Structure 1
Amino acid sequence: MQVTPTLNEGLKRAFTVVVPSADLQARRAARLAEVARTIKLPGFRPGKVPASLVKQRHGAAVNAELMEEVVNDTVGKLLQEQDVRPAMQPKVELVSAPDSDGDLEFKIEVEVLPEIAVPDLSGLKLTRLTSKVDEEVVNKALADLARRSRKFDAIEEDRAAVKGDVVCVDFVGKHDGTPFDGGTAEDVNVEIGGEGFIPGFAEQMEGMKAGEERVINVTFPEDYQAEELAGKAVTFDIKAKSLKKPVDPEINDDLAKDIGLESIEQIRSLITEQAEGEYKQLSRLRIKRELLDALSEKTDFEAPQSMVDAEFGQIWTRVEQDREAGRMDEEDAGKDEETLRADYRRIAERRVKLGLLLAEIGRKQEIQVSREELLGAMQQEAQRYPGQEKMVFEFFSKNPQAVEGLRGPILENKVVDYLIELADVTEKEVTPEELAEIPPAEL
């Protein structure tokens, strides 16, 4: 194998590689001999098929397989010999791939990982925000639970529906006078002033009486999930069948038993436990964000542009999806395309640098991801696809890159835990609202 370096600029490396014809012919002959021992053809005993016939029938397939194998083996060996740590998969361009005689020649382009000097982490100061679950939070959750468990009593008096009443209706939705798919239903309970329907739908039923019919006009939101209806103005033919009034159950042990628990105190305990878990998650997110901000100020190395490009591509795909669905925040919506791209590219570069720095700290501190941790992550992923768990595990068994995609976040969190333990952490109690505040976008 003859290797000629052709580029050494910043983090970019390039090589031209030539594999001699003699090496290729030896490997090609060995592979054809292996095929000859196993091939079965009418009129020939196993292992006695003439070499010329084996080559005629299988030479092209063997050669294509051989070229791929030689390139992969050679690239791996070259990276090891040159002590190159690739940032992304190397790009390979074939110059000549002989069918029989001749040298194999190809070019390799690769971007290497930068030398990362771990900054001095002594004196790192962080603040852990905490919040207590107070009675108001628990009582609000209990009230919400009671509201979801409400029953409805019929309104016998002859009167029009007012806010808070529930109207049982049949309806037919139409666009340009023609009923549309999914727009027809019967015996639907609609709370006047309640949630769960498109804006203007429930509100226009106020004042209806049982037996009354009405046509209402509404416009679907721009981000409505059914694209054929998003932003469209439609009508609904409404027929009110009966009026009901919601009755919230009392918050006592009977409510607990209705949902399969023993007592209201058990519900209180579960609500408190769930809220405490949510607060802990928020607290960790906030201190992790503060840690990453501090580390970002200490990063002093060049980010591989191929990694930045890949990260930016993922971010920009989500930005475009949000833009099409009308979910962009006001600040981003007011920016021109060039400014928006530049902002999110800075975010991509920051993420890449922080990821590389955390990985380097993990490597130097010998922080490992255990097999049990990986299996746990696979199980969590499999649970997202009920009934297809076996297929998910088979996917991971056949795709090492997918497994590495699970390993990365686990390792990152373990390194973050290590750094938080290392830091001087001050606890500060805040309100739940302050704890849940989202810091400004990372730029």
Structure 2
Amino acid sequence: MSYTVETINGCTKKLAFNFETLDLTSEIKTAIVQKQKTVSLKGFRKGKAPLTMVQQVYGQQIESEALNQFVQNRFFEAVQKEDLRVVGYPSFENMNYDEGKSVKFDALVEIFPTVEVKGLDKVEISQETVSVSDEDVDNIQKNYLNSKAEMKEIEGDKKLAKGQFAVLNFQGEKADGERPENMKGEEFLLEIGSGQFIPGFEDGMIGMKKGEKKNIELSFPADYHVEDLKEAKVVFETELLEIKEKVYPEFSDDLAKEFGFESVEDFKTKTKENLFKQKEREVLEKTHQEILEKLIELNTFDVPKALVSQQENHLKEDLAKNLKGQGFNEDMLGEYFAKWAGDLEEKATFQVRSGLLLDNLAKKYEVEASESDFDAKIEEMAAGSGMQADQIKSYYSTDERLKGNLMYAIREEKTFAKIKEEIKLK
């Protein structure tokens, strides 16, 4: 054997190679042929120069490429022989090459760790009961009626309350006396309690009357997306011009039909069903998260840095899309990711650990996601979204990555169902 294997930790191996005699003939021939295809030598068209001339001109470079190929080949042969499940790319170190005679080098490589899940009998989880109230249905009904609602001014000596709308003028003044234009608004319509403004602003307006002026002293949040406003103290001069409220029409059978329902009763029935399914999903997600937290607490093992890095990049990509939709530019994104780097790494590590644990349990339970599972999930999604099942199936079936992600999620769901048969679930 021309190599030895050393275990660095649960997910890292070091392969130390030592070839006291070295024959690069095969690799050199391959390197010459590859080089011939790309070079143009005087008197010959590109790719037509004789191999001997190519070797003569590019000898040192060809030898270097041949050595690199030799190293790669021997490494992958060893990986196959040792049946290593490699993650990412190897790191080659301590290269010692005696030209054309011998070579020694080390290859550090991360592998998938061996995970054996223990302690399922020690996991105890309380799962919430799912229920849907009339108020929940009424809130959905209001959302439907929003497009039909009229904004009407509240007359008389009334005080501004949460849920109402303020028409106001405002101007912010920083501690140094600066009055920025981006802290100014005229005849601005603001729903009180919507959280549209920084914390404290809307609460500070509650109780004001039409025509009243008020200074509201606030501090910007520490995580505000504009650097020079983080934790900045500011006074907002406000003037309440009008108090308004939304007046909704009566929800009749005719309106229900406009929204795609047969009647008001049909709307209430279907809305309750959909809300129940939505809340059920939320409760399941919370339960599954708690199960994973318990299992990770009970099972410690090393995780490959390459997997954590990959997952962290996925998280950043998703976050970047959302933040750009909120107006973040590249500089702001860089600042955001720098600030929350620790949290992102922690979340990525948790997700990698979770994935490895669930994969181990899926194999233990012999869980797989089948085409029939895929079809059933499509029907479930169609029922919850109001879309045609064929449309949803076509969307997933035409993109292998999307379908793969969905099949992975189905496998996880089936694995959690098996886990919950073994743990104490209240």
The two structures have a TM-score, normalised by structure 1, of: 0.62
Question: Which residue of structure 1 lines up, in the alignment, with residue 302 of structure 2?
Answer: 304
Q: Provide the C-alpha distance between the structure 2 equivalents of 1:222 and 1:122, rounded to a whole number of angstroms.
A: 43
The reply to whether residue 220 of structure 1 matches residue 200 of structure 2 is no
**Structure 1 gap segments, 5+ residues each:** 329-340, 381-392, 429-443
Q: Give, as a single letter, the amino acid of the residue that structure 1 aligns with 2:15.
A: F
Question: Which residue of structure 2 lines up, in the alignment, with residue 279 of structure 1?
Answer: 279
CA contact (8 A) 2:169 2:186 kept: yes
Q: Give, as a single letter, the amino acid of the residue that structure 2 aligns with 1:163.
A: A
Aligned pair in 2 of structure 1 residues 71, 120: CA closer, same or farther (>3 Å)? Answer: same
CA contact (8 A) 1:169 1:188 kept: yes
Question: Which residue of structure 1 lines up, in the alignment, with residue 189 of structure 2?
Answer: 189
Q: Give, as a single letter, the amino acid of the residue that structure 1 aligns with 2:272.
A: T
Q: Provide the C-alpha distance between the structure 2 equivalents of 1:123 and 1:239, rounded to a whole number of angstroms.
A: 60
CA contact (8 A) 1:171 1:236 kept: yes
Q: Provide the C-alpha distance between the structure 1 equivalents of 2:419 and 2:154, rounded to a whole number of angstroms.
A: 63
Q: Give, as a single letter, the amino acid of the residue that structure 2 aligns with 1:18.
A: N
Q: Give, as a single letter, the amino acid of the residue that structure 2 aligns with 1:154.
A: E
Q: Give, as a single letter, the amino acid of the residue that structure 2 aligns with 1:303.
A: F
**Structure 2 gap segments, 5+ residues each:** 317-334, 382-395
The reply to whether residue 177 of structure 1 matches residue 187 of structure 2 is no
Q: Which has the higher helix share?
A: 2
Question: Which residue of structure 2 lines up, in the alignment, with residue 81 of structure 1?
Answer: 81
Question: Which residue of structure 2 lines up, in the alignment, with residue 264 of structure 1?
Answer: 264
Q: Provide the C-alpha distance between the structure 2 equivalents of 1:121 and 1:207, rounded to a whole number of angstroms.
A: 57
Bigger Cα displacement from structure 2, 288-297 vs 223-232: 288-297
Q: Provide the C-alpha distance between the structure 2 equivalents of 1:138 and 1:48, rounded to a whole number of angstroms.
A: 77
Q: Provide the C-alpha distance between the structure 2 equivalents of 1:153 and 1:2, rounded to a whole number of angstroms.
A: 85
CA contact (8 A) 1:166 1:245 kept: yes
Q: Provide the C-alpha distance between the structure 2 equivalents of 1:68 and 1:366, rounded to a whole number of angstroms.
A: 42
The two structures have a TM-score, normalised by structure 2, of: 0.64
Aligned-partner SS, 2:30: helix
Aligned-partner SS, 1:31: helix
Question: Which residue of structure 2 lines up, in the alignment, with residue 438 of structure 1?
Answer: none
The reply to whether residue 235 of structure 1 matches residue 235 of structure 2 is yes
Aligned pair in 2 of structure 1 residues 179, 262: CA closer, same or farther (>3 Å)? Answer: farther
Q: Provide the C-alpha distance between the structure 2 equivalents of 1:224 and 1:276, rounded to a whole number of angstroms.
A: 35
CA contact (8 A) 1:111 1:304 kept: no
Aligned-partner SS, 1:96: strand
Aligned-partner SS, 2:49: coil
Question: Which residue of structure 2 lines up, in the alignment, with residue 415 of structure 1?
Answer: 415
Question: Which residue of structure 2 lines up, in the alignment, with residue 36 of structure 1?
Answer: 36
Aligned pair in 2 of structure 1 residues 238, 51: CA closer, same or farther (>3 Å)? Answer: same
Identical pairs, percent: 24
Q: Provide the C-alpha distance between the structure 1 equivalents of 2:63 and 2:407, rounded to a whole number of angstroms.
A: 36
User: 146, 163, 174: which is aligned to 2:161?
Assistant: 163
- Give the C-alpha shift of residue 32 in structure 1: 0.9
Aligned pair in 2 of structure 1 residues 108, 209: CA closer, same or farther (>3 Å)? Answer: same
Aligned-partner SS, 1:358: helix
Question: Which residue of structure 1 lines up, in the alignment, with residue 321 of structure 2?
Answer: none
Q: Provide the C-alpha distance between the structure 2 equivalents of 1:110 and 1:412, rounded to a whole number of angstroms.
A: 28
- Give the C-alpha shift of residue 228 in structure 1: 2.8
Output the aligned Cα RMSD.
5.4
Question: Which residue of structure 2 lines up, in the alignment, with residue 386 of structure 1?
Answer: none
Q: Provide the C-alpha distance between the structure 1 equivalents of 2:54 and 2:405, rounded to a whole number of angstroms.
A: 42
CA contact (8 A) 1:16 1:108 kept: yes
Aligned pair in 2 of structure 1 residues 425, 141: CA closer, same or farther (>3 Å)? Answer: farther
Question: Which residue of structure 1 lines up, in the alignment, with residue 17 of structure 2?
Answer: 17
Aligned-partner SS, 1:235: strand
Q: Give the total of aligned pairs.
A: 378
